[in-house]
Each structure stands twice: as C-alpha cells, then as structure tokens.
Amino acid sequence: MNITNCVLPNKQLFQHRILPALYILVFIVGLVANGWGLKSLLHNWKKLGDVNVFILNLGLADILYLLTLPFLVVYYLKGNVWIFGGVFCKVTRFCFNLNLYCSIGFLTCISVYRYLAIVHPMRVMGRITVSHSVIISAMVWILASVQSLPDMFFPKTSGKKSKCFDSTSQEYIEEYLKYSLGWTLTGFCIPFLITLGCYGHMICVLRRKRTVDKILKQRSLRLLFILILLFSVCYTPHYVLKNVSLYSRVLIKQKICSYWDSRVFSAHQIGRGLVCLNSALNPLVYLHVNEHITAQLRQLLQRVRSTFHQLF
C-alpha cells in the first residue's frame, strides 16, 4: 500500500487522555503499595530472608520508575511537548527500561529460589544465605543497567516542539529495531522460559508429594498465578507490540504502509499502558512471599473493619 493511503491513528485519545490518567493511577497506587511494603521489610531487617532481599530490590526498582511518571503525565497533557530537557528525557526512558529488566530479573530469582526450596530442599539447606541474595541482586542491577544503557545512545528528542520518544526518531528506527529484538530475547524471553520451567516442574512435584504442607502448596499456586498475570498482562503484550510497532515504522520509512499500521499503533499504546501496571501489581508478590507483611495487612484490614462498624 502506498504511503499516501495510510490511515492515521488517533493519537489524541491514547496519548493525551488515556495514558496520563493511567499514569496518575499507577503513580498513586504503586507508590503507596511499594512504600508500605518496603517499610514493613525495613522494620524487620534482622529477620530479612534470602527471598525478601529480591522483594526489597523489586520495590526499589518500582519506586525509581514511579518517580518519573509525573514528568510523563505533564508531557502527554501538554500534547507531547517535552519541557524538561533532552538529558532528562533519556534518564526517564532509562529508568523505565531499568525497572522493566529489574522487575523481570528479580521475579525470575524469586521463582528459582522457590523452586530450589520446594524441589531440592535438602541440597540447598544452609547453602543459600542472605549474602548470596545480595550478590545476585547486585548482578541483576548491573545486567539490567548494561541492557538499558545502549538505549541512551539513540536520539530521544527532535523538532521545535520537542518530543521525548520512548524508542527513537524515525532516522534510526532500523538500528533500534535490531536492538529491541535483542533486548526482548535476553531481557524477556530467557527469564520467562526459566520462570515457566521452574513453576512447571514445581507444580508437578507438589502434585506428586503428599507430604508437602497444604499452606505451602496454596502459596506457591497463588504466586504462580500472580507471575502469570504479570507476564501475560504486563510484559508479553509490551514486548510483542513494541517490536511489531517498530517494524511498522521501518516499513513507513521505506514508503510502505501496511493495512494494519493504525491497529498496531493503537494496540501498542494499550501495551504501553499495561506494562506500567507492573509497578502497581508487583506488590502482590510481597503478600504471597513474606508472611509478616501478610499478617500486617490482615491486622490493618481488621482495624479498618472495626473502625467502619463503629462509625456506622
């Protein structure tokens, strides 16, 4: 199809209305949930277990990204005009990528630790310590930073009405697509397969073993459900639709307009909205991994109920 026959997507609806509203909601919910979860962990620092180190780092990665959302809200409400400078645009996009890689990395680490504790409890007993978790967490941060760093070298702003691209300008779109495909393989596909393998084998073991505690079974299944929710709702649509959208932009640069271009743009915007939800949904992991936080939440809910009954 010729480039002149392209159907222009409705950018106003997604970028100027839906995304800002969603970012505001995620900022409020994510900041409160992660802040409360981190506070609970820090109050019990001496009891901090090996898995809880990953949860602590997961919360820090979420807060780092959440603090950039107010600037993106201003950007979209101003009609895609970036007023905070080119350097800070790159920093904002870097924080998004860093949060994404770290979130997937720490969720994978939690999955592997759960797998070892249930499938090979005798082999790992006393061998995995908090120090090991700290070292692994540092490696996740370093690897996530290395994966996100190349994105900083692509142009992020252009034009008189300065834009802040989540990818790059049209001039470098072919190179960015190659980078994005590589990052999808290493930052998403491999960790996802590891997580899937761990929980697949774990479920088989839990079904065979009758001696495993029922509460442990329920907690493992609930955590599996949360991880499926995160990967299927937040991460998978983002990576798939982002790469398809980049490919569509490559075709447009070659003066080729596909009939699905407008639909891909709309779907990609929905994917961008869904992926930011991970910072609001990640605190669900706290509740099913850390028993102390779950107990605190029950006490809080009981207080709210008693206060409600007293008032009404």
Q: What is the percent of the chain where pLDDT is above 90?
A: 38
Give the Cα separation of 98 and 147 in Å (integer): 8
pLDDT for position 9: 62
For residue 311, is pLDDT > 60?
Answer: no
What's this model's pTM, rounded to 2 decimal places? Answer: 0.86
Q: What residues does each domain of the chain span? A: 9-296
Q: Collapsing DSSP states into helix, strand and coil, what is residue 165? A: coil
Determine the pLDDT at residue 45. Answer: 62
122 versus 171: the higher-pLDDT residue is: 171
Ranking 36-40, 129-133, 302-306 by mean pLDDT, the lowest is 302-306
The stretch 212-223 carries a mean pLDDT of 72
Report the range of poorest mean pLDDT among 7-16, 148-157, 295-304.
295-304
Q: What is the pLDDT of residue 305?
A: 60
Cα separation, 102 vs 21, whole angstroms: 25
Rounded Cα–Cα distance for residues 156 and 164 (Å)? 5
Select from 5, 2, 9, 93 the least CA-distant residue to 261.
9
DSSP state of 21: H
The CATH H-level (homologous superfamily) assignment of domain 9-296 is Rhodopsin 7-helix transmembrane proteins (1.20.1070.10)
Is the torsion defined by CA of 22, 24, 30, 32 positive or negative? negative
Q: What is the secondary structure of 272-311 as a DSSP string?
A: HHHHHTHHHHTHHHHHHH-HHHHHHHHHHHHHHHHHHHHH
Predicted pLDDT of residue 295: 55
